[in-house]
């Protein structure tokens, strides 16, 4: 087995988790703050942080700190197969548009 196939298998395992796949689908729409992801998935911040660590270690997301908040975005330019998968997952655009957590609560400002 080549190193590339092993790497792809590891990434596909990461995407095999429902929470991580949902996070990737959300980030496919736009960059998000941790608090937005927490609110959208109705889970705890430590739980999201654990998933984000795995996605970051897998090279699928990048983070940018702004003040006390961390924003995440996709890092899949070098993994076209991930983009192809995300094209086939139901869009979360409407759900994200309805979530205005940061604007309402000023949590990320």
Predicted pLDDT at 13: 97
User: What's the number of domains the chain is made of?
Assistant: 1
Instruction: Give the DSSP H/E element, type plus range, for residue 79.
Output: none
pTM of the model: 0.86
Question: Which positions ≥6 away from 76 have C-beta within 8 Å?
Answer: 60, 82, 83, 86
Q: Give the separation between CA 29 and CA 33, rounded to whole angstroms.
A: 13
pLDDT of 23 above 70:
yes
Given a contact cutoff of 8 angstroms between Cβ atoms, the answer to whether 73 and 31 are in contact is: yes
Question: Which positions ≥6 away from 69 have C-beta within 8 Å?
Answer: 33, 34, 35, 107, 108
What range defines the domain where residue 16 resides? 3-105
Residue entry with tokens 């729409």:
29
Predicted pLDDT at 26: 95
The CATH number of residue 83's host domain is: 1.10.10.10
Confidence of residue 104 (pLDDT cuts 50, 70, 90): very low
Predicted pLDDT at 102: 54
pLDDT of 34 above 70:
yes
């Amino acid at each position: 087995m080549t190193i590339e196939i092993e790497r792809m298998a590891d990434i596909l395992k990461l995407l095999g988790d429902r929470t991580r796949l949902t996070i990737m689908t959300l980030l496919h729409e736009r960059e998000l703050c941790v608090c937005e992801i927490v609110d959208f998935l109705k889970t705890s911040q430590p739980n999201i942080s654990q998933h984000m660590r795995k996605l970051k270690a897998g090279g699928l997301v990048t983070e940018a700190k702004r003040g006390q908040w961390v924003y995440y975005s996709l890092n899949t330019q070098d993994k076209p197969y991930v983009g192809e998968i995300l094209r086939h997952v139901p869009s979360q655009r409407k759900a994200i548009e309805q979530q205005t957590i940061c604007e309402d609560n000023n949590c990320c400002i």
